[in-house]
Amino acid sequence: MNEFELIESIAARLGARPGEVEVPLGDDCAVVRLGGIRWALASDMLVFGHHFKGWAAPEDVGYKAVAVNVSDVAAMGGVPRFILVSGGAPDSGVALGCMEGVLAACEKFGVYPLGGDTTASDALTVDVAVVGELPDPPVLRSGARPGDLLAVTGELGASAAGFLALEGGKRGPERLVRRHLRPEPRVEAGRLASRLGVHAMIDLSDGLASDVRHVCRRSGVGCRVELERLPVSGDVRELAESFGRDPEVLAATGGEDYELLIAAPERVLEELSSASEVPVSVVGEVVEEGVSFIRGGEAVEGLSGWDHFG
Amino acid sequence: MNEFELIESIAARLGARPGEVEVPLGDDCAVVRLGGIRWALASDMLVFGHHFKGWAAPEDVGYKAVAVNVSDVAAMGGVPRFILVSGGAPDSGVALGCMEGVLAACEKFGVYPLGGDTTASDALTVDVAVVGELPDPPVLRSGARPGDLLAVTGELGASAAGFLALEGGKRGPERLVRRHLRPEPRVEAGRLASRLGVHAMIDLSDGLASDVRHVCRRSGVGCRVELERLPVSGDVRELAESFGRDPEVLAATGGEDYELLIAAPERVLEELSSASEVPVSVVGEVVEEGVSFIRGGEAVEGLSGWDHFG
């Protein structure tokens, strides 16, 4: 059973949904309407040895745990407001370092920490639960329609390149390492996209090749992604090639970009692109069925993203 | 730096509190007012090797992770409503077992799971974030006043006795083992206590000797607890003695009771005791200053509870 089957087996067993729950589990966040306002809730856990290794300082881990949750709220078109943070650490110095990173991220993203738990554990482990406010109806994974274009914010592969560098024992290039250790969730772009009425949105955590499949499955559609159109910067290409990796494949599968993948009509994407501070790049289109990745007119097979129990 | 100093160093660094936050971190739950309703939020993490060992089935761990969070809501006088659950497990079988326990607890406590995260980790780790509804103003740790009596719900030491048995390689007595593996948060008693206007409340997770100090410190008072008055059942006494342990000291320090400790005037406690389905036992009184534990008219020194980094 993989992670997604696990989630579906849980979803299938849930009882009646309380009236406040507008979106149950299965999207970037659940959505609950409390007192006339919609709130987005999600949690994400980082574990030493699996999500990071000795190359990440406890401060980076704390920061990233908040950032990846903020990204889930961004993917619904929401504004992150509150977090709870539970941390397990081998000693109080590591715990405190991690909390420093959590507080730095709270300040950066305008999030207020409501508490949580600190405990001892052999492996540094941080779980953050986030509560975001949704000024507009949430943007779900399930709204993509044939004829929509697919676009991504920012750039792809930078985090994966930073990860390759860190795993290879390099501390540089600093920009790429930083993109891996301290991702920049796209809250502004997500808000804009939501206000402009995009059809579907997801944040890129598992990697484009995997996350675009989530959107297609939930929307009952297919897609055609052109690898040449992925926004891959020069330093990412260089670093990927220095490790013998195909830059576009890395960008499509590396994961942890924490960019937004958006499905919307061309006109909406043009408005978004013009209003957004981060670049918005069209990378493909939504079709009736079948997920394909194309380069030089040929299908590229076997691209897939991350599965935690795969 | 111990766990409490860590929490205080975090609290001291927080920026301006958003208008919705009525109770910030430092109590059993934070309280946020959203759309005219007060909500209690908390999270608690369980880690293999620290909170449990091989004697706990993954199902028990998932169940308990929900139960201890429900207990935090109970200690504010709230009704548990929603959870997020993040789990790290060495394989998908363990993850699924743990989720079975989570779902069983959700059903038992009327809580709806909004999602969360599943990931790989060497040590089974479960973090639950809970959202509870507060029909009445929350009962805080800080309201105890000299002249109040101190009371506890249910019984003390049963969970600690079950833990001794499990650690000693016994699977019985079944009742005590169950009290450790599947605690019974006192939601009904907490609701009643809140409606009756008790002055202060906390759930007993670290152990009475430690938790009563949290109440005293936050309330700016002292207390006098009489060990002979602790509700310790016959099977707990027997088991403690079979391990060469002092039953009342075990009951005061063992922790993980998930009973409620309540400070209130005598009259209020009488009403509570008469209306509650679980027994309510007076165990001492609130005084101006100084925390003391008395037995046979003599002070018992050196009693303390759990500190995760102690």
Would you state the pLDDT for residue B310? 45
ipTM above 0.90, yes or no: yes
Please determine, for residue B128, whether its predicted confidence score (pLDDT) is greater than 60.
yes
Chain B residues whose CB is inside 8 A of the A131 CB are 41
CA A278/CA A153 separation, integer angstroms: 6
Question: Looking only at Cα atoms, what is the longest distance across chain A?
Answer: 55
**Is the CB of B43 less than 8 angstroms away from the CB of A113?**
no
Whether the CA torsion B212, B215, B218, B219 is positive or negative: it is negative
Taking residue A289's Cβ as centre, other Cβ atoms within 10 Å add up to 10
Cα A263–chain centre separation: 15
> Can you read off the two tokens belonging to residue A112?
């207020």
Q: Is B233 an interface residue toward A (CB < 8 Å)?
A: no
Candidates B164, B159, B155, B148; CA nearest to B230 is B155
Alpha-carbon separation of residue B295 from A53, B227, B242, B248 (angstroms) = 51, 5, 21, 9
Q: Is B306 an interface residue toward A (CB < 8 Å)?
A: no
**Is the CB of B99 less than 8 angstroms away from the CB of A32?**
no
* DSSP codes of every residue in A251-267: HHHS----PEEEEE-HH
Q: Please, where are the H alpha helices in chain B? A: 3-13, 58-74, 92-109, 158-167, 174-181, 187-196, 208-219, 234-242, 247-253, 266-275
> 């370092």: which residue's tokens?
A97
pLDDT tens sequence across A264-277: 999 999 999 999 99
Q: Are A128 and A224 in contact (CB under 8 A)?
A: no
* DSSP codes of every residue in A197-238: T-SEEEE-SS-HHHHHHHHHHHHT-EEEEEGGGS---HHHHH
CA A203/CA A207 separation, integer angstroms: 9
What mean pLDDT is predicted for residues B39-59?
96
- Determine the length of chain A: 310
**Is the CB of A308 less than 8 angstroms away from the CB of B7?**
no
Q: Is B299 an interface residue toward A (CB < 8 Å)?
A: no
CA end-to-end span of chain B: 8
Amino acid at A33: R
What residue in A sits closest to B4 (Cα-Cα)? A118
Please determine, for residue B60, whether its predicted confidence score (pLDDT) is greater than 60.
yes
**Is the CB of A41 less than 8 angstroms away from the CB of B84?**
yes
CA A114/CA A82 separation, integer angstroms: 7
Residues 6+ apart with CB under 8 A from B238: none
What residue in B sits closest to A2 (Cα-Cα)? B92
CA end-to-end span of chain A: 8
Would you state the pLDDT for residue B78? 98
CA A91/CA B49 separation, integer angstroms: 15
> Is residue B117 classed as helix, strand or coil in its secondary structure?
strand
**Is the CB of A14 less than 8 angstroms away from the CB of B88?**
no
Strands lying side by side in the sheet with B291-295: B200-203, B260-264, B149-153, B280-287, B222-226, B291-295, B298-299
Would you state the pLDDT for residue B1? 61
Would you state the pLDDT for residue A188? 98
> 């907490």: which residue's tokens?
B190
Would you state the pLDDT for residue B14? 78
Please determine, for residue B7, whether its predicted confidence score (pLDDT) is greater than 90.
no
The dihedral region occupied by B77, where left means phi > 0, alpha psi between -120 and 50, and beta the remainder, is: left
CA B42/CA B205 separation, integer angstroms: 14
Interface of B with A in 86-105 (CB under 8 A): 86-88, 91-92, 95-96, 99, 103
- Bond preceding residue B173 cis, omega within 30 of 0: yes
Would you state the pLDDT for residue B35? 81
Amino acid at A232: V
**Is the CB of B309 less than 8 angstroms away from the CB of A120?**
yes
Q: Is A9 an interface residue toward B (CB < 8 Å)?
A: yes
- Give the model's confidence band at B101: pLDDT under 50 very low, under 70 low, under 90 confident, else very high: very high
Would you state the pLDDT for residue A170? 80
Would you state the pLDDT for residue B102? 96
> Is residue B161 classed as helix, strand or coil in its secondary structure?
helix
* DSSP codes of every residue in A138-160: PPPGGG--TT-EEEEES-SSHHH
Whether the CA torsion B217, B219, B223, B225 is positive or negative: it is negative
Q: Per the confidence metrics, is the pTM higher than 0.90?
A: yes
Which residue of A14, A88, A95 is in closest CB contact with B47? A88
Q: How far is B185 from chain A (nearest CA, A)?
A: 18
Chain B residues whose CB is inside 8 A of the A17 CB are 112
DSSP state of B11: H
Residues 6+ apart with CB under 8 A from B152: B204, B208, B230, B231, B257, B259, B260, B261, B262, B280, B281, B283
CA A122/CA A28 separation, integer angstroms: 29
What mean pLDDT is predicted for residues B224-244?
97
CA A235/CA A201 separation, integer angstroms: 27
Q: Please, where are the H alpha helices in chain A? A: 3-13, 58-74, 92-109, 158-167, 174-181, 187-196, 208-219, 234-242, 247-253, 266-275
CA B210/CA B5 separation, integer angstroms: 14
Q: How far is B101 from chain A (nearest CA, A)?
A: 11
pLDDT tens sequence across A95-120: 999 999 999 999 999 999 999 999 99
pLDDT tens sequence across A46-98: 999 999 999 999 999 999 999 999 999 999 999 999 999 999 999 999 999 99
**Is the CB of B43 less than 8 angstroms away from the CB of A1?**
no
Half-sphere exposure of A289 toward its Cβ, with a 13 Å CA cutoff?
Answer: 1
Question: Looking only at Cα atoms, what is the longest distance across chain B?
Answer: 55
Half-sphere exposure of B58 toward its Cβ, with a 13 Å CA cutoff?
Answer: 18
Please determine, for residue B115, whether its predicted confidence score (pLDDT) is greater than 60.
yes
- Give the model's confidence band at B13: pLDDT under 50 very low, under 70 low, under 90 confident, else very high: confident
Q: Is A113 an interface residue toward B (CB < 8 Å)?
A: yes
Residue environment code for A176-208, b if the CB has 16+ CB neighbours within 10 A, otherwise e: bbbbbbbbbbbbebbbbbbebebbbbbbbbbbb
Interface of B with A in 37-66 (CB under 8 A): 37, 39, 41-45, 47, 49-51
Would you state the pLDDT for residue B197? 98
Candidates A101, A104, A239; CA nearest to A159 is A239
Which residues, given as ranges, of chain A have pLDDT below 50? 310
Interface of B with A in 120-159 (CB under 8 A): 120-123, 125, 127, 129, 131
CA B78/CA B40 separation, integer angstroms: 7
CA A70/CA A131 separation, integer angstroms: 9
**Is the CB of A45 less than 8 angstroms away from the CB of B88?**
yes
